Amino acid sequence: MGEVRPPETGAAPPPRFVTGSTFRHVVVMAATGSVGLMAIFLVDLLSLLYIARLGDPVLTAAVGFATIVQVFAVSINIGTMIAVGALVSRALGRGDVGEARRLAASALVLSVVASGLVVAVLLPLLAPFLRLIGATPETVPAARTFLWIALPSAVLMALGMGFSGVLRAVGDARRSMNVTLAGAAVTAVLDPVLIFGLSLGIEGAAITVVLARLAFAWVGFSGAVRVHRMVARPSLAAVLTDAGPILSVALPTVLTNLAPPVASAFLAHVMAGFGTATLAGNAVVDRLVPVAFGGLFALSGAVGPILGQNWGAGRFDRMRSALRDAALVTGLYVGAVWIALLLGRGPLTALFGLSGDAADLLAFFCLAGGAIWFFNGLLFLGNASFNNLGFPLAASALNWGRATLGTMPPALLGAHLAGPEGAMAGTGVGSALFGVVGLALAFRTVGVLERREAARLEADDGRPARLP
């Protein structure tokens, strides 16, 4: 017999995250999310390795700059993915599956439209934009070729990420993981075939990106629509009705997610002052970061639906517990990755064929990256809380604070005092400050919501209320 599907409308199954161990929910959701994300990041790293094996550092640097540009486009998709996860999980926490399905459909339509507009704006401006972030005259043509092929597929990525957000909102960690695993599998198989087998080089890598995102969207559609029936048939009236609530979460979240690529672009601009070799080393670090610390991205994505369902159910005690457990998992995860980087810095340098300044920069990242990314992880948890609990502007303020005050002055000062390694270390100082503040404010946000709910219940009942 086939899998039983929930009805088109009516009662939703019991919200998964409002009972049971919050630590277990955090670990399961983060672990399954990590598998899919890190698989994609790993094959992206392999793609860069294949390009590096072509023996031209200009191509390696070009792919690094192209990645920065693509992150700007993907940031739009992340904003709408977080919006659909927050609103759908909150509706499910209240038991309103019809509203959840309608919101999912409207958010997906808005995501595709927004992604298409971004692509249309970026494509004719690629050359000046690449020069602005530090690309040299030698790297601009190759990066531009890559992006003309790969960038339009950001629309497919918007669909895939939206479906993944729906699957996380309903607590289907396995199918959400399968969305990203599908893209990773396509990349792993096709990259060497197109880059080396068909001698397409950087164009082959870009074609693989398109095909991987097509698989990403199809598997997401299969899980969210065909299995769970959690996406209603979209309508213009529903999109216009839901645009306000969706954009109230998505726009600040997009603003939040544009901050990291701005910081990366600024750091790349600083690194460009030290030559092509340093740029190549920085490109490797940029691809290594998500592989090494992809679990932190998955962890922040896992916390959102858990907080959203428990907020809808009025379980503020469980919300605090989820934040504490997520911070503990962050520390344990980063500690393990840091040890692996310390032990693997030599083999990684040899694997990518780096030498001189490029090798020095990669080695320094392996030594210091753990400390920097522990605090980044705390900031991610804070941002996930704000985005899912109705305070997205707080996430924007913190992320932009880190991308500007926490990145630019310390990076410039560090570069002046200690070269490329000093620039990287400077960004770590800002991460520490904003990470601690972000997590502290997340706990404060839960307290604010709890007091608001107590006041509402007291006003409704005419007597003091006791929260669960």
Domain annotation covers residue 1: no
Residue 9 has pLDDT above 50, yes or no: no
Domain annotation covers residue 390: yes
**Mean pLDDT within 459-468:** 54
Lowest mean pLDDT of 6-20, 325-339, 369-383, name the range.
6-20
Which residue range forms the structural domain that includes residue 386?
A: 21-461
Residue 225 has pLDDT above 90, yes or no: no
> Do 407 and 427 touch, CB atoms closer than 8 A?
yes
Residue 11 has pLDDT above 50, yes or no: no
End-to-end CA distance of the chain: 40
Residue 201 has pLDDT above 50, yes or no: yes
Higher pLDDT, 82 or 113: 113
Say how many domains are in the chain. 1
Domain annotation covers residue 344: yes
Domain annotation covers residue 68: yes
Which pLDDT tens digit goes with each residue over 134-147?
777 888 888 888 88
pLDDT computed for residue 148 by the predictor: 92
At 15, is the pLDDT very low, low, confident or very high (cuts 50, 70, 90)?
A: low
Domain annotation covers residue 51: yes
**0.75 exceeded by the pTM?**
no
The token pair at 333 is 């995860």
Domain annotation covers residue 8: no
pLDDT computed for residue 37 by the predictor: 61
131 contact partners, CB below 8 Å, separation of at least 6: 140
Domain annotation covers residue 85: yes
244 contact partners, CB below 8 Å, separation of at least 6: none
Q: Is 453 exposed, middle or buried (0-12, 13-18, 19+ CB in 10 A)?
A: middle
Domain annotation covers residue 11: no
- Angle of helix 154-169 relative to helix 201-221, nearest 10 degrees, comes to 30
**Closest Cα partner for 74 from 26, 42, 40, 105?**
40
Which pLDDT tens digit goes with each residue over 348-385?
888 777 778 888 888 899 988 888 889 988 998 888 88
**Closest Cα partner for 125 from 106, 140, 115?**
140
DSSP state of 11: B
